[in-house]
Amino acid sequence: MTTYVLTVNCHSTRGIVAAIANYLADSGCNLTDSNQYDDLLTGQFFMRVTFVSQTGATLDSLKAGFEPVAQEFDMEWAIHDAEKKVKVLLMVSNFGHCLNDLLYRWRIGALPVEIVGVVSNHMTYQKVVVNHDIPFHHIKVTKENKPEGEGDLLDVVEESGGELVVLAGYMIQSDKICQKMSGKIIKIHHSFLARFKGGNPYKQVYERGVKLIGVTSHYVITALARRTDHRAGNRPHHPCAKPRGLRQPRPRCRGAGARPGDPRPCAAPRLHQR
């Protein structure tokens, strides 16, 4: 039996869960996993349901049948075949811990995605990427060539067929890209924020004696893209450069499980992970 994933985002009101459950039951489907969340601040409702069709219903028929339910509650929604691998484009700068972790998990089959390419503004990890038989794209974006660089990046996304962009230690500061690829870009970075802010959080953490850190991820939106790049202070010879005695942390980066096109939850991203 084929496993499907339904993700929903809409205004919170009564009857949503019942309508979804009744539709799936009437369509011959059995729920295998269900998560839901109400954001009391925004009044938004989020739900992620995993189910199997016990009658052989196709993806197209399930989508067509769900349309009236979605219209009734004005939903942003998507149904995906859980077995279909998402086409992911990775982006990395000069620190490779997130990239290396993602490549390792992909290589051993722990990260069920199809990596269609890696984009970087440096050549640092070209050999690493090429050795994995993955296309490497060097796109240098500066203030002088920003329009051309952004155009080249969007061309790579389109030509590679990338459905999801994962920023594995890379910063996008472009309203154009954020708007054009809304809900299709995820950023992975350290979990210092919001306690350690500014251009060099590593220096602050080192001085405070923090021994253990983690990682976090979020959908990239215009408001977040405009924030100061937290990696800006980690350049050689910068006045606030990372102390020589502090090793680059090796966080356990969680694989990005969100599907492109899924609603962008602000408070409950875990509900939209595969």
For the annotated catalytic residues, the residue numbers are 189
Rounded to two decimals, the pTM is 0.67
Cβ neighbours, 10 Å, residue 118: 27
Q: How many domains does the chain have?
A: 2
Residues 243 and 166 in one domain: yes
Residues 19 and 115 in one domain: no
Contacts of 56 (CB under 8 A, 6+ apart): none
Residues 239 and 140 in one domain: yes
Residues 91 and 187 in one domain: yes
Residues 67 and 97 in one domain: no
Residues 223 and 256 in one domain: yes
Residues 93 and 228 in one domain: yes
CATH number at residue 26: 3.30.70.260
Q: Exposed (0-12), middle (13-18) or buried (19+): which is 27, by Cβ within 10 Å? A: middle
CA 18/CA 22 separation, integer angstroms: 6
- Please list the pLDDT of the chain residue by residue as tens digits (274 residues): 889 999 999 999 999 999 999 999 999 999 999 999 999 999 999 999 999 999 999 999 999 999 999 999 999 999 999 989 999 999 998 888 889 999 999 999 999 999 999 999 999 999 999 999 999 999 988 778 888 888 898 899 999 999 999 998 888 767 778 888 888 888 877 666 666 666 677 788 788 887 766 777 777 876 554 443 333 333 333 333 333 333 444 444 444 444 555 544 443 333 334 4
Segments forming the whole domain that contains residue 91: 86-272
Domain end marker among 81, 104, 127: 81
Which SS3 state, helix, strand or coil, does residue 25 take? helix
Residues 205 and 137 in one domain: yes
